[in-house]
Structure 1
Amino acid sequence: MAVASTTFNWENVERMPVPINHPTILSPWSSGANIAFPAFFIEDRFKSNGWELVYNSFSTTETVNPKFFIIYNKFRGLLRAFFYLDPISPIPSTYVTHSLKLKDNASIPVLNYGSDEIASLVKNAKEISQVQPYRTSATGCWYAAEFEINYTPAIRNMPAQGSLLQWDVNSTNISQITINGTSEGTIKGTMTQSVAGPENILNSSLKGTVMLYGKHLGDSMLKEINENKLIKSEYLLNFASSLASGGYAAAAGKVLSAIFGGSSTTTSQVINLKSTTSYKLSGSVNDSYLIAAPVLVPPGASNSSNSLGILPLYNKVLGVFTLDKTPIVNATAKEEWYTERGMPGDRDERFSIYNPSDYRLVQNSYNILFNPDIINTSPDGARVENLKQELVQREKDGNLINVFPINYEFSSHYRITVGNIGWDGNGGYIPQPASPSPWDSNEQLMTGFFLRISFDVVPNNGSSRTKIVKSFKIKANPIDIKS
């Protein structure tokens, strides 16, 4: 049976609502509270900036475990979950891991924006796991995690029982951490990936979601990169330099996925950046304790009262925007012939070669869908400004090397052969399929090309705007052969 959430003054409360005679629990933003999450969460929490209370287990009438509440920023599409661990005997732990996952094999794309810098509309993410450098405390402590949500219009017509979410909080004791082959001892910052649990995080190549907050962020990042406190990559250097010299607008042109701003603070910048820098973690998990695993009914789903989970207080579909289909590129190739000279005594062999030359994004192959619960003319809604669509190309290390308008027609020197030999355009030979195929051959031509969409979400109440940048994978139609 569904469990109702109760509301409270979450923005300004000093003490959490608990029954009479229950020990006092300070709110996470109360002076003296023991917290194990990024400090800027305290300043960035107000309803005027788009935060809404979605779930809450605290009550003045009964004690419920686990003790948690979750807020959601409707202008940024971010869920921020706070969990309170009661004073207990110490649990052996070096890290706290959070997982937000689809329950009971649900198949919806709501988690597809969670960690990857390039969003896919083909394969739905089942789980997002996050490891944080915090220890469990014996004195009572607040923990928190943040997850980006993909707007999923289909939830409105889905029964809640088939689209449930589960938030797992684990205390994980890890003997040693090795990052990129170097023994570090600790993880600095938050790392997020679409894998299940701490064991898989330790054996994955991660691209962390970096949460940045502070004064003069660009200058601060440059200083830390030069002091080797951040991974020194051309990608981060370009981003930090652009942020320092041109602010959010300039920095947005250097990334594939990020959320800029949205907080009303005048002293600090807030950026949620999906880093393209890979981190290879290895180590061993000695123990892992499941601390909490609340089941959440997604806002906006139908028949929610008949589901098994915690009901939302905010009941509008989450997420800011999505695409209805994967963007498509049309490829055109010209047939040519190539003769391979045989060794003395052997015959020459001729191959039919298709030289893919023209690529163009099919602009009507997809539509941008904005969430009408957010993008509207109501006083608590918002409007979209500075909408931009671009084709971007990057190198393997994540550095953007070219940005094109979406009507740009581009070419490739890569060739596809009917036969078993292909020419790479640089004098080298490579195996090829027996004939040009829709995507397995063409994928090599399109490697590193993505559709990037960026826009500003401008609240109708006059509060601070948010800039959202999101890149999507594209696919190619079967090659059209021209004689």
Structure 2
Amino acid sequence: MGKEIIDPEERYATTDYIQIQGSPDNISPMAANKWYMMQYELAYDPDITSIPYDQVQLAWYLNYCNVQTIKLGGTQEGRINGTIGAASSTTFYDEFKTAAKSTGTAVLTGIGKNFITENARDETTDSLGRNNNIGLPNYIYSSISNTINSALSGSLDEIPQALFKGFNAIFGLNKTTQPIPINLTFKSQIELNGDLSDRGSFPSSPSSFWLPGTDIASDAVGYIPLYNKPLGVLGLDGRPKVSPMVIYQRVSDGYKLFVTYKTNTFRQRLQYNPEVEAIADIQLTKLELIETDFQGRFTQVCPNRFFAGTLDTNYNPTSSIDVPEYLAFRATFKITPNNGDEPTVIIKTFKTDQDPLPLKNAQ
């Protein structure tokens, strides 16, 4: 969680996320004898079962801070009811913890339908022409918003085929009741302003417990999870590779070069949690190659076959060879419980390794 494009080969000793929740009705959010709930995404990792239980933990630091203003996109005040995931710079977290004002680019995760609809904006109110307070490009925001709205009256099974021009989402296919549960992930500019005279932490913070799926000793001291099996639905055991194949079409003065990609390495890297497979059917329903720019922003879905340039009769390029420089896999999964409950759809985008173009004159 917390990445628009997930790199399966990234590893961290510690990963931090910030979840912002407003205080209800001006009541102090921190007090004894209260319930606190947090929701995060975890990828399936089979290595969890081999890690000694006392070497890995989940921990929550419950803090409060008087954040008076939240700005999204740097122009309008907005609301955040979700998680600030991995930031483009670690200083965003440091500033949030130590200063009254912080500004940075961060990934918002766990953002639902209400967050999208409440941050709609008339384009004329924004000097940059944006139609939202979140800082998203208009075409991405409109695609998300239109898909969510059409889902309320249309066939929900069609959502995976027409979902937004973004990277990551989790949502339910609930055909009988509303609202539809939706979690979205995207990057945005965030500005926080608060008063450091009103900040602190819960006396018993941090709260931590042993990670489910590890071999927790019967005499272990501390909080022990009620569900002690590996978490997560799926994961990748490494970065999948994209391998281009070239097709030469003979023309009078040489060749036209067409390119297609082999994508089978994604399935070879894919791992499903056997604990989930025992109670549900997991299907990879759609696999797309996504083109991005150098900043990791979505540009388009890569065609199955495309024209890349021209060559002479000796296979030397006579024009610039135009192939995508940055590619990622966007995968759509449908998880259908065996007990008859409605399915869930997970959409995730993963970073790739790319083989060079195998031109004949390059051999």
* Shorter-chain TM-score above 0.5: yes
Q: Does 1:452 align with 2:327?
A: no
Query: Does the aligned pair in 2 maintain the 1:457–1:465 contact within 8 Å?
Result: yes
Q: Which residues in structure 2 correspond to 1:53-452 (within 5 Å)?
A: 114-125=1-12, 126-135=14-23, 136-137=28-29, 142-174=35-67, 177-182=70-75, 184=77, 187-194=79-86, 198-200=93-95, 202-213=102-113, 221=117, 224-226=120-122, 230-231=133-134, 233-245=138-150, 246-252=154-160, 253-254=163-164, 255-261=166-172, 266-276=177-187, 278-281=188-191, 283=193, 286=196, 288-291=199-202, 292-305=205-218, 309-331=222-244, 358=259, 360-364=261-265, 366-376=268-278, 381-385=279-283, 387-394=285-292, 398-399=297-298, 401-404=300-303, 408-410=304-306, 425=320, 445-447=324-326, 449-452=327-330
- CA distance in structure 1 between the partners assigned to 2:216 and 2:38 by the alignment: 28
The count of corresponding residues between Structure 1 and Structure 2 is 312
Distance in 1 between the 2:2 and 2:145 partners?
Answer: 21
Task: Return the alpha-carbon distance in structure 2 between the equivalents of residues 249 and 226 of structure 1.
Answer: 31
* Cα distance change, pair 412–119 in 1 and its aligned pair in 2 (3 A): farther
Deviation at 1:302, TM superposition (A): 2.0
Contact 2:103–2:189 under 8 Å retained in 1: no
1:259 is displaced (CA, Å) by: 0.7
Deviation at 1:211? 3.0
Partner SS state of residue 276, structure 2: coil
Residue deviations 1:397-433, cap 9 Å, x none? 94552254xxx355657xxxxxxxxxx959xxxxxxx
Q: Which runs of 5+ in 2 are unaligned?
A: 97-101, 124-130, 247-256, 310-318
Displacement after TM superposition at 1:326 (Å): 0.8
Q: Distance in 1 between matches of 2:207 and 2:238?
A: 32
More helix by share: 2
Query: How many percent of aligned residue pairs carry the same amino acid?
Result: 22
Structure 1 residues 274 and 243: CA distance shift in structure 2, 3 A: same
In structure 2, the residue matched to 1:7 is none
**1:461 and 2:363 equivalent?**
no
The TM-score normalised by the length of structure 1 is: 0.55
Alignment RMSD: 3.9
Tell whether the 8 Å contact from 2:30 to 2:64 is kept in structure 1 after alignment.
no
Q: CA separation of 1:403/1:286 partners in 2, compared to 1, >3 Å: closer, same or farther?
A: same
Larger Rg: 1
Distance 1:250 1:315, change over 3 A: same
Q: Distance in 2 between matches of 1:363 and 1:200?
A: 43
Name the CA distance, whole Å, in 2 between partners of 1:313 and 1:189: 27
State the secondary structure of the residue aligned to 1:269.
coil
Q: Deviation at 1:387?
A: 2.4
2:341 maps to 1:472? no
More displaced 10-residue stretch of structure 1: 278-287 or 318-327: 278-287
SS at match of 1:289: strand
Alpha-carbon distance in 2 for matches of 1:239, 1:326: 28
The whole-number CA distance in structure 2 between the counterparts of 1:155 and 1:237 is 40
CA distance in 2, matches of 1:306, 1:162: 16
Q: Normalization by structure 2: what TM-score? A: 0.71
- CA separation of 1:399/1:118 partners in 2, compared to 1, >3 Å: closer, same or farther? closer
Residues 235, 400 of structure 1: 8 Å contact kept:
no
2:277 match: secondary structure: coil
Structure number with higher relative contact order (C-alpha < 8 Å, ≥ 6 residues apart) = 2
Gapped runs of 5+ residues in structure 1? 1-113, 334-355, 414-423, 427-441
Superposed CA offset, 1:230-274 (max 9, x none): 546210201222343455444433232111116696132111111
The answer to whether the Cα contact below 8 Å between 1:210 and 1:275 also exists between their aligned partners in 2 is: no
Q: CA deviation at 1:472?
A: 0.5
Preserved contact between residue 327 and residue 361 of structure 1 (Cα < 8 Å): no
C-alpha change, 1:399 and 1:310, in structure 2 (3 Å) is same
